[in-house]
């Protein structure tokens, strides 16, 4: 019982770090264009993160039960996964690199599950089909269709979408004065920033909801929660489900983390990749948030970071290709490529070390 509470606490720490690590995703553009002050922008993001986090659970179910065989998942598995994600997020935040908390969590979960299964790669659900009992439609599930393919397609969609939307806006305002453009899109960016913050909560908080639900389900299945006091009976669940208290608590913790801010990454996204005006910020936020909305409804745990960063890149290409900092972009892409394998290896090592410590 005590160990489960330690695991849940570790998930909340990850969620809090996710809040300030990925706060830049929602507010970097609105801060860099000076539409809002940093504190007001963070408050906006925190509020919309909260709303987005309780708006669905399809992604939570994918992360909690659709990527690894839950028969091999224990509280120790989840603790190792969270420690790996926390270490990677803090390291990338310190470097100011906008890496994916989502992929850090997924990589950690896969690596820890692999360790708990004794190195059996079959513990990872690579690709499988299932029939929806209500509609009868066949849906694809697993790491390949829900994580790997979206990891490639969502940045492409962000790059192309940002480029196309920016060009459409250029056509719309080609006869406007610069003052009118800035005033109009300065107001519109308040809505696009809120939309992006909602998308961040909708996409990212659901992932940790799924992990907490998985931790409780695993503890119940192993018999750890058979003699709970009445006050803690809400922890006992005989099946995998996302309880209301899990949704609300994850949403609040992410909101608090967002309120703490993430200024290192805000400087990278909002100033270093490409210099932006309100119209550019609006185009990037609208593109990134729409990608998160579509993917979230499909149960795909795509990266908020990938969506908004590539949208900013697409806007930059439409503005002027030479405006992009290609050296920085190369560093960011390498960090994206390394996130899942590094967190997987870290989680595998953490599980082996923790298991050794408990056994001795």
Q: Specify if 263 maps to a domain.
A: yes
User: pLDDT band at 263, cuts 50/70/90?
Assistant: low
Q: Specify if 83 maps to a domain.
A: yes
Q: Hunting for tokens 């949704």 — which residue is that?
A: 247
Q: Specify if 118 maps to a domain.
A: yes
Single pTM value for the model:
0.84
Q: Specify if 178 maps to a domain.
A: yes
Torsions phi, psi for 180 (to 5 deg): -65, -40
The DSSP result for 78-126, as a single string, is: HHHHHHHHHHHHHHHHHHT----HHHHHHHHHHHHHHHHTTS-GGGB--
113-137 residue pLDDT tens: 999 999 999 999 888 777 666 666 6
**Residue that wins the pLDDT comparison between 339 and 35:** 339
User: pLDDT band at 268, cuts 50/70/90?
Assistant: low
Domain of residue 60: give its range.
Answer: 2-128+139-354
pLDDT at 308 over 90: no
Q: Specify if 360 maps to a domain.
A: no
Q: Specify if 116 maps to a domain.
A: yes
- What pLDDT is stored for residue 139 in this prediction? 67
Number of domains in the chain: 1
CA-closest candidate to residue 40, choices 50, 31, 29: 31
Evaluated on CA atoms 214, 215, 218, 219, the torsion sign reads: negative
Q: How much is the average pLDDT of 127-153?
A: 77
2-59 residue pLDDT tens: 788 899 999 999 988 887 777 666 677 777 778 887 778 878 887 887 788 777 777 7
């Amino acid at each position: 019982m005590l160990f489960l509470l330690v695991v849940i606490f570790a998930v909340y720490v990850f969620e809090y770090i996710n809040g300030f690590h990925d706060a830049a995703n929602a507010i970097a553009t609105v801060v860099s264009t000076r539409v809002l002050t940093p504190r007001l922008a963070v408050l906006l993001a925190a509020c919309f993160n909260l709303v987005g986090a309780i708006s669905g659970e399809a992604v939570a179910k994918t992360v909690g039960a659709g990527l690894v065989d839950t028969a091999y998942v224990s509280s120790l598995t989840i603790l190792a996964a969270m420690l790996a994600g926390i270490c990677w997020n803090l390291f990338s935040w310190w470097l100011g690199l906008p890496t994916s908390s989502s992929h850090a969590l997924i990589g950690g979960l896969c690596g820890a599950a692999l360790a708990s299964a004794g190195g059996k790669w079959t513990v990872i659900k690579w690709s499988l089909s299932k029939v929806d009992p209500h509609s009868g439609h066949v849906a694809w599930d697993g790491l390949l269709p829900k994580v790997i393919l979206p990891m490639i397609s969502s940045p492409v969609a962000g790059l192309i979408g940002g480029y196309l939307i920016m060009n459409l806006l250029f056509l719309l305002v080609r006869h406007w004065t610069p003052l009118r453009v800035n005033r109009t899109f300065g107001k519109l960016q308040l809505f696009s920033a809120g939309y992006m913050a909602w998308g961040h909560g909708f996409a990212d908080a659901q992932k940790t909801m799924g992990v907490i639900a998985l931790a409780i389900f695993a503890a119940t299945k192993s018999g750890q929660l058979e003699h709970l006091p009445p006050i803690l009976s809400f922890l006992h669940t005989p099946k995998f489900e996302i309880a209301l208290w899990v949704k609300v608590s994850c949403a609040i913790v992410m909101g608090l983390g967002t309120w703490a801010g993430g200024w290192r990454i805000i400087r990278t996204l909002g100033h270093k990749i490409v210099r932006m005006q309100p119209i550019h910020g609006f185009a990037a936020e609208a593109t990134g948030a729409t990608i998160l909305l579509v993917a979230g409804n499909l149960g795909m745990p795509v990266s908020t970071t990938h969506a908004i960063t590539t949208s900013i890149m697409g806007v930059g290409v439409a503005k002027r290709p030479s405006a992009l900092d290609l050296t920085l972009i190369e560093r960011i892409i390498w960090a994206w490529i390394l996130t899942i394998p590094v967190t997987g290896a870290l989680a595998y090592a953490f599980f082996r070390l923790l298991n050794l410590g408990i056994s001795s």
